[in-house]
Structure 1
Amino acid sequence: MRLINVRPSRRTGLFLACLPFIALLVAYAIGSAVRLEANPADKLLPGFQTIADAVNTYAFTQDRRTGDYLLWADTQASLTRLVSGLGIATAIALVVGVAQGVLPLARAALAPLVGFISMVPPLALLPVLFIALGLGETAKIALIVIGVTPILIRDLALQAGALPREQIIKAETLSASSWLITLRVVLPQVLPRLIDSLRLQLGPAFLFLIAAEAISADAGLGYRIFLVRRYMSMDVIFPYVAWITLLAVVMDVALSQLRRRAFPWTEIRQ
């Protein structure tokens, strides 16, 4: 049998999925042991016990100055900014992207502008945002919106424009207006794509969030990572990076489940 036709069982698939993570942990443990044996004060690859102590301090011990549990306070601050930015970006992208994909006049007017904005490196605008909007929450949320929205718009516009023309013609023969065609024909078919696009933009959104928090914030996951880096506190940085990754994975899975439940007809049956 050719390897291209071999499909693993559920148990084998789970084992294969876990294998790379186990290999990474083993490699880290070996590297940490070697470095700590040569220098017990080494901070680059702290031992698992040191990392566990740091997690206990930041997640389960109240900070003496603020009384907060720092990990959870940072998580709340970061997720508030992230969800706000993604929510605004999604709303703008849905309106502009569908209009650009359905209406030729909107496409002619907006496509060049959106294409131009999508090529601007969002991080290059961060100083401009801080100068124009101040160092508060508005600039951080605006960076996420500017970084994510143009890509979502272009993706939705392409999806809406790629719909079979026959569907539009059939709706027109039934006397459907442009608004009704958009609402009943186009929108149900682009919403699943919007969720998929949003999933793909989670990584860039976290990048913009962390960059903004690193420059100006008093709480947040990015703020904490760049605060402790001056002390080379890798025992704090590693758990925070792992936690950010876990949050992104959970959000990705949640969006995937939302898409599957809200639009079951789009799932590919094997």
Structure 2
Amino acid sequence: MIASDARLAINPNDKVLPSFSHMADAIVRMATKPDRRSGDLLLWSDTFASLRRLFIGVGAGALVGLMVGLNTAIFPGLRAMSRSFLTFLSIIPPLTLLPILFIAFGVGETAKVMLIFIGTVFVISRDLHLYVLQLPKEQITKALTLGASDLAVTYRIVLPQIMPRLIETTRLTLGGAWLFLIAAEMISATEGLGYRIGLVRRYLAMDVIIPYVLWITLLGFLLDWLLRLAVARLYPWYRTGKE
């Protein structure tokens, strides 16, 4: 506020640090006035496009990561083959794969979703793999002694116990998922929050960029809060003794 007032006092047309009123006017315009070219309300169409990509990518990463992490930790043969492999894949910087993804899948939706998927699936699978290995071995031994099959142990005893961990790990990967999403949208997209920021920066439209950044932060906070609430409501036993 102080810096904006100082710059605007010297140059009322300064775009670098807009006033709060200018930012409010810009975000209201983006949210309530249809675009002349497309007729869409840009804030909401961008938000819907970005959240769709985020949910598909993170959802697929969480589902595949759950199956990989669970099964590689339970079955010794898979565990021996996958331990170093998962570590290797989880260390690859996902953003370095973006040019490869654009070449392989084109510049459409698939490449953006694949970037988010690759950026989350190996982190989730590795974390769940390590978490399953920390579960009490007595549970598995007793279940096998009572006649449970390997599949029953995996999906009826171990799986329910790692579901809250899956939600927590997914929540922690959302920060990286947003980064991958915005980066992909800035490079190649026709709608989305990252695309809009990349587009208006050419005109130094900070009155749009700053509110969009705050809006992305708010969306990220709400998603984080919803996932924490889901863990607290669905699995109250998980945090017992942890907080």
> Normalization by structure 1: what TM-score?
0.87
1:165-197 Cα distance to aligned partner (Å, 9 max, x none): 111111112111111111222111111100000
1:7 corresponds in structure 2 to none
Matched, 1:192 2:199: no
1:246 corresponds in structure 2 to 218
1:262 corresponds in structure 2 to 234
**What is the rounded CA distance, in whole Å, between the counterparts of 1:33 and 1:88 in structure 2?**
46
1:55 corresponds in structure 2 to 27
**What is the rounded CA distance, in whole Å, between the counterparts of 1:194 and 1:45 in structure 2?**
41
2:205 corresponds in structure 1 to 233
1:176 corresponds in structure 2 to 148
Could you tell me which amino acid in structure 2 is paired with residue 234 of structure 1? M
Q: Which residue of the other structure, out of 6, 9, 13, is the alignment partner of 1:37?
A: 9
**Which runs of at least 4 in structure 1 moved beyond 4 Å after TM superposition?**
none
- The structure showing larger relative contact order (alpha-carbon pairs under 8 Å, at least 6 residues apart) is 2
Aligned pairs (5 A) from 1:3-14: none
Unaligned runs of 5+ in 2: none
2:57 corresponds in structure 1 to 85
**What is the rounded CA distance, in whole Å, between the counterparts of 1:209 and 1:237 in structure 2?**
16
Could you tell me which amino acid in structure 2 is paired with residue 142 of structure 1? M
Identity of aligned residues (%): 53
Matched, 1:68 2:40: yes
1:201 partner SS? helix
Q: CA deviation at 1:33?
A: 0.8
Counting matched residue pairs gives 242
Unaligned runs of 5+ in 1: 1-28
Q: Which residue of the other structure, out of 90, 97, 119, is the alignment partner of 1:125?
A: 97
1:139 corresponds in structure 2 to 111
1:112 corresponds in structure 2 to 84
**What is the rounded CA distance, in whole Å, between the counterparts of 1:40 and 1:208 in structure 2?**
36
**What is the rounded CA distance, in whole Å, between the counterparts of 2:80 and 2:72 in structure 1?**
8
Q: CA deviation at 1:267?
A: 2.6
**What is the rounded CA distance, in whole Å, between the counterparts of 2:162 and 2:78 in structure 1?**
17
**What is the rounded CA distance, in whole Å, between the counterparts of 1:266 and 1:80 in structure 2?**
29
**What is the rounded CA distance, in whole Å, between the counterparts of 2:222 and 2:132 in structure 1?**
28
1:16 corresponds in structure 2 to none
Q: CA deviation at 1:144?
A: 0.3
1:39-91 Cα distance to aligned partner (Å, 9 max, x none): 22221110011001101110111111111000000001101100000111011
> Normalization by structure 2: what TM-score?
0.97
Q: CA deviation at 1:117?
A: 1.1
**What is the rounded CA distance, in whole Å, between the counterparts of 2:240 and 2:197 in structure 1?**
41
